[in-house]
Amino acid sequence: MTDRLLTVNDLKTYFRTSEGVFPAVDGVSFHLDKGETVGLVGESGCGKSVTALSLLGLVPDPPGRIVGGEILFQGQDLVALPADERRKIRGNKISMIFQEPMTSLNPVYTVGMQLMEPLRFHRGLAKPEARARAIEALKQVGIPAPERRIDDYPHQLSGGMRQRVMIAMALTCQPQLLVADEPTTALDVTIQAQILELLKSIKTTLGTAILLITHDLGVVAETAQRVIVMYAGKIVEEAPVRDIFKSPFHPYTQGLLASIPRIDATVDRLSTIEGVVPNPLHYPAGCRFQPRCPRAAAQCVAQEPPLVAAGPGRRVACWLADKGVAGDE
Amino acid sequence: MGVYIAKRLLMSIPVLLGVIILVFLMVRMVPGDPAVVMAGEQATAEQVDAIRAELHLDKPLPVQFGLFMHDLAKGDLGRSPRTHAPVSEEIGARLGNSVVLMFTSLLLATVIGVATGVISAVKPYSLFDSLAMLVSLIGVSMPVFWLGLMFILLFSVQLGLLPAAGTGTWLHLVLPTVCLATVPLAMISRMTRSCVLEVMGQDYIRTARAKGLPERVVIAVHALKNAFIPIITVVGLQMGNLLGGAVLTENVFAWPGLGRLMVDSILARDYPVVQGTVLFIAVCFVFINILIDVLYVYLDARVRFD
Ligand SMILES: Nc1ncnc2c1ncn2[C@@H]1O[C@H](COP(=O)(O)OP(=O)(O)OP(=O)(O)O)[C@@H](O)[C@H]1O
Ligand SMILES: [Mg+2]
């Protein structure tokens, strides 16, 4: 309990569009302990980024808004906090890095200026001191010759370098929580591996908790201790990484796992999950995965399955998993 | 950059030549004998002939054109048969007034236009934004001379607050400035709004917010510097509008500038002055456009290559 850093309870973030209101995040609950790395996975559009933005208080409003739930960070409910108080936590105690390193830095300012900003605003540091700390931060994320690089403009850096700068920027104030929204998706494979290594080393040296958003279960296997699977705005399964690869409970998780190539198994064809992600404006009745589920039964259409405990550190939202139909084989 | 400027200058030569020919012909196609008009009602036949000879109007058109070009090559725009002063002197005497009017108008249009555009973009679809955009839509489509007349009716005739015409005090400058600034102001405000809105949707703005910067810093430091380049272009492009609008405004408010000189000269069939002013304005227009292009290339290059 003393290790608990973040508790999200029944978080609901809705978007108001011309076609109607839709729940991008629809009653999501999870927690993060200090210094722990948790993977958040799911198909495109399932609400991973919106969950992340909700934690930071960065959901674009309009059209989006947190309409319910609470986000307890170090015992304080962020949802109830006034905007200005929330801002003081952003980039300070909770930081975020994004998928697009090429466009996430401001093209008209030097790397140094952008790195120094959090220190100057949150810590009130004077320029020379902030600069020294910024150089230190660049060194920490493995940028060579940081004393020179600090005066570069973003376009003078490669994509991988920029993502390192983004990470350095997120870490300057030594946050307790780093939200990384697909930090490696836009990078090529070797650079991806380097950035993941960097994130792992941050976890060990700084003890920063990381919420790692990705649609790549391979990335999760390498970096995270626990994994949360989202589908259509809801959490469908949560488990320690070891367990999820060994015995996924939810048919959706099983589908996700079956669709990644494995070295230890010779398969002729990779399987995919049939069908498409449902339109959030018209979610199907009952379980949201039911139309695509190979095992859907009458109850799945009739009633939405709740997210319930399913063993140590595990939760699953599936009627069939509970009855032991899915799971270990 | 030097090559680029040289190329632009070369390309402007045919444009200016076209303007010269057009003006030369147009002035001569206007009905009425200019010598008679200029000499006045009580003039004798000898006086009329003298003016005709002075303007070479007794010679065939190609010869007239040759003489005109010959003088022009020497930088001589001729003399006004009305005032007997050199055309360049006439232009010089009015230029200051036009520059003052255009400067104050551009300043007003830029300051207010950029400010309203930024406020609108920061809170899009707010009451302020909707009102500002409605007003600017009206402003963009406002005929300048009609607006000027309405200003005079309201502020000078009805309320008696401001002088309707002439120069003298800074109060005289108020109505012409506002009138001339209206269209550029509306354009600048609309364009600023869309430029800033576009920048506000960029990823680096989200990064700036994620850092926990106060919103005013996000806008003033991170958004505006990026929106600045397209805004400068828009402001520059309004210079052309301003030159044209100045002719109308100066006439409505009897402001003794180049536009007024040009219209007066047209009415008096003062060929040399008409030719001189039109040519002068055309040259200004061409050079301002080159200047804006160069400025834009320069600013853009700084962002991309600096
Ligand atoms: N600014 C926005 N306006 C309207 N709808 C939005 C906005 N941002 C996200 N959404 C919607 O919310 C839903 C969840 O989007 P989100 O970006 O969280 O998905 P994601 O899981 O991060 O997907 P991806 O893997 O593609 O990043 C989607 O249906 C998306 O269209
Ligand atoms: Mg996303």
The first and second tokens of residue B225, run together, are 């510097």
Q: What is the pLDDT of residue A326?
A: 45
**Residue A175 per-residue DSSP state:** -
Backbone torsions φ then ψ of A234, nearest 5 degrees:
-130, 155
Q: What is the pLDDT of residue B301?
A: 52
- Grouping H, G, I as helix, E, B as strand and the rest as coil, residue B261 is helix
Give the ipTM of the model, two decimals please: 0.87
Counting residues of chain A whose pLDDT is more than 70, the rounded percentage is 94
Q: Which residues pair with A65 in a beta bridge?
A: A14
Backbone torsions φ then ψ of B256, nearest 5 degrees:
-75, 70
Looking at the domain assignment, is residue B50 inside a domain?
no
The first and second tokens of residue B5, run together, are 């400027």
B301 CB-near residues (< 8 Å, 6+ apart): none
Q: Which numbered atom of ligand 1 lies nearest the CA of A215? A: 25
Looking at the domain assignment, is residue B1 inside a domain?
no
Q: What is the pLDDT of residue A323?
A: 45
Domains and CATH numbers, chain A: 4-224 (3.40.50.300), 234-323 (no CATH)
B171-200 helix and B144-151 helix, angle to the nearest 10 degrees: 130
The first and second tokens of residue B283, run together, are 């040259």
The H or E element spanning position B22 is helix B2-29
Looking at the domain assignment, is residue B21 inside a domain?
no
Query: Is A90 close to B207, i.e. CB distance below 8 A?
Result: no
**Is the CB of residue A45 below 6 angstroms from any atom belonging to ligand 1?**
yes
Q: Which numbered atom of ligand 1 lies nearest the CA of A99? A: 27
Report whether B294 contacts B1 (CB < 8 A). Answer: yes
Distance CA B36, CA B38 (A): 5
Among A14, A49, A67, which residue has the most ligand 1 atoms within 8 Å of its CB, making it the best to mutate?
A49
Mean pLDDT of chain A: 87
pLDDT band at A266 (very low <50, low <70, confident <90, very high): low
Distance CA A119, CA A133 (A): 8
Residue with structure tokens 């920027």? Answer: A169
Distance CA B142, CA B185 (A): 12
pLDDT band at B197 (very low <50, low <70, confident <90, very high): very high
AA letter at B129: D
Residues of B in contact with A107 (CB under 8 A): 204, 226, 303
Lowest mean pLDDT of B21-30, B211-220, B247-256, name the range. Answer: B21-30
Backbone torsions φ then ψ of B201, nearest 5 degrees:
-90, 0
Report whether B167 contacts B97 (CB < 8 A). Answer: yes
The first and second tokens of residue A167, run together, are 């990470």
Looking at the domain assignment, is residue B73 inside a domain?
no
Q: Which residues pair with A209 in a beta bridge?
A: A177
Report whether A182 contacts A215 (CB < 8 A). Answer: yes
Looking at the domain assignment, is residue B81 inside a domain?
no
Looking at the domain assignment, is residue B13 inside a domain?
no
Residue nearest to atom 14 of ligand 1 (CA): A47
Residue nearest to atom 29 of ligand 1 (CA): A45
Residues of B in contact with A16 (CB under 8 A): none
Q: What is the pLDDT of residue B230?
A: 82
- Grouping H, G, I as helix, E, B as strand and the rest as coil, residue A132 is helix
Angle ∠(A287,A293,A296) on CA atoms, nearest 5: 70
How many CA atoms within 13 Å lie on the side-chain side of B85?
Answer: 10
Domain count along chain B? 1
Report whether B229 contacts B300 (CB < 8 A). Answer: yes
Residue nearest to atom 31 of ligand 1 (CA): A45
Report whether A111 contacts A157 (CB < 8 A). Answer: yes
Distance CA A326, CA A153 (A): 53
B150 CB-near residues (< 8 Å, 6+ apart): none
* Contact residues of B toward A, CB < 8 A: 202-204, 206-214, 217, 222, 225-226, 303-304, 306
Q: What is the pLDDT of residues B205-242, one digit of tens each?
A: 999 999 999 999 999 999 998 888 788 878 887 887 78
Query: For residue B253, what are the domain limits?
Result: 87-304
Look up the CATH number of the domain holding residue B200.
Answer: 1.10.3720.10
Q: Which numbered atom of ligand 1 lies nearest the CA of A48? A: 21
Answer whether residue B142 shows pLDDT above 90: no
pLDDT band at B5 (very low <50, low <70, confident <90, very high): confident
Residue of chain A nearest B227, judged by CA positions: A108
Q: What is the pLDDT of residue A325?
A: 44
The first and second tokens of residue A89, run together, are 């936590």
B271 CB-near residues (< 8 Å, 6+ apart): B27, B28, B34, B55
Distance CA A67, CA A123 (A): 32
Buried residues in A115-127 as b, exposed as e (16+ CB within 10 A): bbbbbbbbeebee
Which residue among A87, A107, A114 places its CB closest to the CB of B212? A87
Looking at the domain assignment, is residue B130 inside a domain?
yes
Pair type for strands A37-41 and A209-213: parallel
Answer whether residue B302 shows pLDDT above 70: no
The first and second tokens of residue B160, run together, are 């008696």
The Å distance, Cα A46 to ligand 1 centre, comes to 7
Residue nearest to atom 5 of ligand 1 (CA): A15
Helices (H) and strands (E) in chain B, counts: 13, 0
Lowest mean pLDDT of A173-187, A195-209, B41-55, name the range. Answer: B41-55
Which residue among A91, A100, A155 places its CB closest to the CB of B211? A91
**Is the CB of residue A18 below 6 angstroms from any atom belonging to ligand 1?**
no
Answer whether residue A268 shows pLDDT above 80: no
Distance CA B301, CA B306 (A): 7
pLDDT band at A329 (very low <50, low <70, confident <90, very high): very low
Does A124 lie at the interface with B, CB-CB under 8 angstroms? no
Looking at the domain assignment, is residue B31 inside a domain?
no
Question: How would DSSP label each residue in A274-324?
Answer: -S-PPPTTSPPSSSTTGGG-TT--HHHHHSPPP-EE-STT-EE--HHHHTT
